[in-house]
Structure 1
Amino acid sequence: MSRTPIEHPVIAIAGLGIESSTFSPARTEAPAFHPQRDAEVLTRYPFLADGKPLRAAADWRGALVGKSLPGGMATAAAFEELSADLLARLAAMPHLDGLWYDIHGAMTVEGIDDAEALLLRRIRDVIGPDVMVSTSMDLHGNVSRELAHRSDLITCYRMAPHEDHMETKERAARNLVRLLHSGADRPIKAWVPVPVLLAGEQTSTRIEPAKSVYAAVSEVEAADGVTDAAIWVGYAWADEPRNRAAVVVTGPDENAVAAGAERLARGFWAARRDFDFVAPTGTYDECLDAALASDARPYFVSDTGDNPTAGGAGDVTWGLTELLARPEFGDGGPTVIYASVPGPAAVAAAVEAGVGATVTVTAGAEVDDRHAGPLTMTGVVHAIRHGDRDAETEVVLRVGSVYAILTKLRKPYHHEHDFTDLSLAPREAAIVIVKIGYLEPELYAMAADWKMALTPGGVDQDLVRLGHRRIRRPMFPFDPDMADPDLTARIIPASTEPLSGADE
């Protein structure tokens, strides 16, 4: 039965987002989510600015949206604090027609499995069963049967790196508005869990086979009877039963969404052995040797194991320790930039000494000391910068020919200005080492050559050696010779109906 068209629906926006590595000893507290509330929420989305067509198409109400840098699992207290605030704001709103649930999909909370589905269940208890919910996610999120069930529309990014992140959010909001304007009934959802769990660096859409696998998404979406199609790679560095790849196709035609979901799931499964790292890989020493032997400048090396944008603690000192032990990088050696290691006391000492001073400081390994201990360095303070949103305070310490960035709090380095703001010239450096996996677009464009170092840390790229215990088995690549799985589409009931069937 069709619903009554709503000319100017009231739509709330809410969500919490983080990638949480369960293999990192770090914990994430509530302030790390930088929560925005009420009208401030709308400022996150350029397509909801005053004068934009989508802004005028509905009465948008911000509840609470908080997004953290990836890191360790969220504490139970942080989740309860933020959830309670979000739910109270929703409860205070007038009758809602829709809710846009803006999440990441890989949030692990102490003592809780499938935190996003739990939060959406609580949201449903507040807003009622008749409100249409559109969920937008990162493709490195996880889609359990319950999350798909409690959402009416659900989608994710189609690019890795996520150059389409804002386009995806706009699509989720626009599809919700169209659904409410049309008065159409709740879409049908076809969900297929795919027993594959791979790192993002192995599934970049820049290269094959992910490029072709994801190209099929828009083809399925264009079919009659389909509203949206999505493939989730899943999040590799958490150990929960929901962690795996998944496909969801939504639309008004059950046959069309089922056929589309099965096509995408079969394509992903068929390509599983062809996925490979987005760049040449090697040990750390092999990557440094290659950089030194190359004429390509700047030569980028990804220190992948402690990538803070994948869930690493960010303060593993192993990479910088090994770098400073190399004799090639003493005084007069090739210029190397290393980003970064947190060390609040080291930063404070450098700030007190001032630019140009020689200091001896100790940094790192306050959170993750499993691979190397705190690192003591003597060097010249090259730069100091205050006021960064993530790091708060940054300093650059020159040790021999290495310019090591130290931070008060952990920070990812993805943009050229992250370096130039610190009086560093990455384009003129011989080697730039960044705690990252695949290079973000600006760094990728800047790199004359590039290798990924398979280094230790909470987001180790060697998934099999990490020690997953709770994922559903069999799972590729943990069980490389497993039989072909059942990739038949599961039709998920509408969110107003009881959830049937196991979360296979």
Structure 2
Amino acid sequence: MTKRVAIAGFLHETNTFAPTPARCTNFEQGGGYLPLSRGSEIIERCGGVNLGISGFVDYARRAGWELVPLLWTGAIPSAHVEKDAFERIAGEIEDRLRKAGQIDGLLLDLHGAMVAEHLDDGEGELLARLRAVVGPSVPIAASLDLHGNVTRQMVDEADVLVAFRTYPHVDMAETGERAAEQLERLMARGRPFAKAFRQLPFLIPIPWQCTMIEPAGSLYREVAETEGGAVSSASILMGFPAADFEDCLPSVLAYADTQEAADAAADELERSFLDRENRFSGKAWEPGEAVAEAMRLASGATRPVIIADTQDNPGAGGDSDTTGMLRALIAAQATNAAIGLIVDAQSAMLAHAAGEGAEVELALGGKSNIPGNAPLTGRFRVEKLSDGRFKATGPYYGGADMNLGPSACLSIDGIKIVVASYKAQMADREMYRFVGIQPEEQAILVNKSSVHFRADFEPIAETILVATAPGPMALDPADLPFTRLKTGTRLSPGGSAFAAKEATRRVG
């Protein structure tokens, strides 16, 4: 008998320290995701794209399910989701589910680290509302980002949560398929899995969570090896270490035929995770030092030296408009260098008004009021203009149709700058090419990204440096002004523990 499965998605990674909230317009536009899609639009738009929802659809077609697409939306990471945006979107998903009629299962594409203005646990609240609609007997499965901050409510309300295993997230669609497979098992068995949930007591800097390096690489191989026999699904989530609430923590999940098997799997993965705690570290450079080292390396290199501007990563809540690394390039008189993206709609508009080949006075970037940052005022040459529409070709965005709004390649002192109107993480080489910059031909590239850029840029990189120019996403979580973490949480691997009295002192 054909299974009737409803699918939906609501994704946001919330940096509670970031300067700009997520509004309805951000979810409508998508910012590197699909634009907000309803009903059949979801099926039409998600094909061949690296997203969990795409994996749902591919699996469903093979399984012969009847899909009931509800609503799918995602916004690029930022500060809190505005109350109005959360309630509109969650309310519409709930309403469409209520009108969908009888279903055999519900598949949700979620992030796992959403904080709204009025709710710490966005996904837990959404799952609870949808559970109330479908009742206790309809299984709910959800795919999650590797950076999810999983809560007890999320675990209790969903029958299975399945997380990415790669960072850069090149397995988003694959994870959607794995979540759909777990839903099929639940529908076939007619009863829930036993669940085990563990939270780890330390926060991990984003750049050192990368699964292309150690210790995360081998840790995630263990996750895959855990599955089999009585264990149906296992996940490790690194957590998103910039959310000021108690459940901002890494976690382990296991689902099995018996509670004993689930607990044993979760305990073993927890031990492996804890054993690696002090290995989550790496070298970071001040802006001037990073550029000097890049220039030294580039003098004898045949491929670009890439600098990650990690603290203004729009994939972690930055506005992608700080100018610290651009100033460092100019001060060092770097040559054959490019930086992207700097998001500044006003400057892009003025460049379009001036036209290609013109010179224009601008106060570029620096409009997010980040301490230690300011607009860069100068005379820029307009090298090339674009409407901001192109198809990403790298493995992270995975064929997505991008829309960065009116965009331009500007230059100052020979340094090329990708300027866009809409925010998206610099994680695809096409994000240089669409304004005429060939990334492979540059000596130095500065990418506003922490890790995702590695998927498409590492194959062309001489080496990669991590730089810490001023920005809203501190590389070390210990530098963030937390007030509400769980007491005893280590603020970095092997670091000092958070205490309530420390929080009181910080806000007093």
Could you report, residue by residue, the CA deviation over 1:300-336 in whole angstroms, capped at 9, with x for unpaired residues?
Answer: 1111111001221222223223333x1524xxxx111
Q: Which residue of 2 aligns with 1:23?
A: 17
Give the CA deviation at 1:243: 0.7
**Counterpart pick for 1:194 among 200, 208, 212:** 200
Give the CA deviation at 1:154: 1.0
Q: Which residue of 2 aligns with 1:173?
A: 180
Residues 24 and 311 in structure 1, CA contact (< 8 A), matched pair in contact too: yes
Residues 28 and 72 in structure 1, CA contact (< 8 A), matched pair in contact too: yes
Could you report, residue by residue, the CA deviation over 1:220-273 in whole angstroms, capped at 9, with x for unpaired residues?
Answer: 112x21110000111011111111011110021211111000000111011101
Give the CA deviation at 1:479: 8.4
Give the CA deviation at 1:127: 2.1
- Find the aligned partners of 1:126 and 1:205 in 2 and give their Cα distance: 38
Q: Which residue of 2 aligns with 1:221?
A: 227
Q: Which residue of 1 aligns with 2:414?
A: 401
Could you report, residue by residue, the CA deviation over 1:346-378 in whole angstroms, capped at 9, with x for unpaired residues?
Answer: 111110111101111122232333222222221
Give the CA deviation at 1:71: 1.8
- Find the aligned partners of 1:482 and 1:370 in 2 and give their Cα distance: 25
Change (3 A) 1:115 1:194: same
Alignment of 1:21-420 (within 5 A): 21-33=15-27, 34-43=35-44, 44=46, 46=48, 54-180=61-187, 182-222=188-228, 224-277=229-282, 280-294=283-297, 295-296=300-301, 297-324=303-330, 326-329=331-334, 334-388=335-389, 389-420=402-433
Change (3 A) 1:259 1:56: closer
Letter of the structure 2 residue corresponding to residue 305 of structure 1 = Q
- Find the aligned partners of 2:104 and 2:57 in 1 and give their Cα distance: 21
- Find the aligned partners of 2:412 and 2:55 in 1 and give their Cα distance: 47
Decide which moves more: 255-264 or 83-92: 83-92
Q: Which residue of 1 aligns with 2:397?
A: none
Residues 196 and 269 in structure 1, CA contact (< 8 A), matched pair in contact too: no
- Find the aligned partners of 1:51 and 1:399 in 2 and give their Cα distance: 47
Could you report, residue by residue, the CA deviation over 1:19-51 in whole angstroms, capped at 9, with x for unpaired residues?
Answer: 111111111111222321112223425566988
RMSD (Å) for aligned C-alpha atoms:
1.9
Decide which moves more: 50-59 or 428-437: 50-59
- Higher gyration radius (CA): 1
Residues 313 and 368 in structure 1, CA contact (< 8 A), matched pair in contact too: no
- Find the aligned partners of 1:171 and 1:401 in 2 and give their Cα distance: 48
- Find the aligned partners of 1:31 and 1:53 in 2 and give their Cα distance: 30
Decide which moves more: 462-471 or 51-60: 51-60
Change (3 A) 1:51 1:81: closer
SS at 2:231 equivalent = coil
- Find the aligned partners of 1:264 and 1:327 in 2 and give their Cα distance: 46
Letter of the structure 2 residue corresponding to residue 234 of structure 1 = G
Change (3 A) 1:327 1:179: closer
**Counterpart pick for 1:462 among 449, 454, 476:** 476
- Find the aligned partners of 1:49 and 1:214 in 2 and give their Cα distance: 22
Change (3 A) 1:234 1:327: closer
- Find the aligned partners of 2:413 and 2:197 in 1 and give their Cα distance: 55
Change (3 A) 1:57 1:314: same
Decide which moves more: 246-255 or 384-393: 384-393
Residue 421 (str. 1) matches residue 428 (str. 2):
no
SS at 1:227 equivalent = strand
List gaps (5 residues or longer) in structure 2: 28-34, 49-53, 390-401, 498-508
Residues 56 and 177 in structure 2, CA contact (< 8 A), matched pair in contact too: no
- Find the aligned partners of 2:327 and 2:150 in 1 and give their Cα distance: 39
Could you report, residue by residue, the CA deviation over 1:86-126 in whole angstroms, capped at 9, with x for unpaired residues?
Answer: 11111110111111111011111112111110011111122
Residues 103 and 135 in structure 1, CA contact (< 8 A), matched pair in contact too: yes
SS at 2:161 equivalent = strand
Letter of the structure 1 residue corresponding to residue 17 of structure 2 = F
Residues 17 and 242 in structure 2, CA contact (< 8 A), matched pair in contact too: yes
Could you tell me the percent identity over the aligned residues? 28
Q: Which residue of 2 aligns with 1:493?
A: none
Decide which moves more: 410-419 or 443-452: 410-419
**Counterpart pick for 2:6 among 6, 9, 12:** 12
Give the CA deviation at 1:282: 1.2
- Find the aligned partners of 2:482 and 2:458 in 1 and give their Cα distance: 31
Q: Which residue of 2 aligns with 1:492?
A: none
- Find the aligned partners of 1:370 and 1:42 in 2 and give their Cα distance: 43
Number of paired residues?
468
Letter of the structure 2 residue corresponding to residue 268 of structure 1 = F
Q: Which residue of 2 aligns with 1:446?
A: 460
Could you report, residue by residue, the CA deviation over 1:372-426 in whole angstroms, capped at 9, with x for unpaired residues?
Answer: 2222221210011104344211111111110012112223221122211211121
Change (3 A) 1:221 1:50: closer
- TM-score of the superposed pair, with normalisation by structure 1: 0.89
Residues 345 and 362 in structure 1, CA contact (< 8 A), matched pair in contact too: no
Could you report, residue by residue, the CA deviation over 1:439-482 in whole angstroms, capped at 9, with x for unpaired residues?
Answer: 33111111111100022211110211112221112122458478
Letter of the structure 1 residue corresponding to residue 462 of structure 2 = A
List gaps (5 residues or longer) in structure 1: 1-6, 484-504
- Find the aligned partners of 1:381 and 1:241 in 2 and give their Cα distance: 48
Q: Which residue of 2 aligns with 1:495?
A: none
- Find the aligned partners of 1:215 and 1:226 in 2 and give their Cα distance: 15
Give the CA deviation at 1:12: 0.7
Q: Which residue of 2 aligns with 1:499?
A: none
Change (3 A) 1:85 1:379: same
- Find the aligned partners of 2:21 and 2:494 in 1 and give their Cα distance: 32
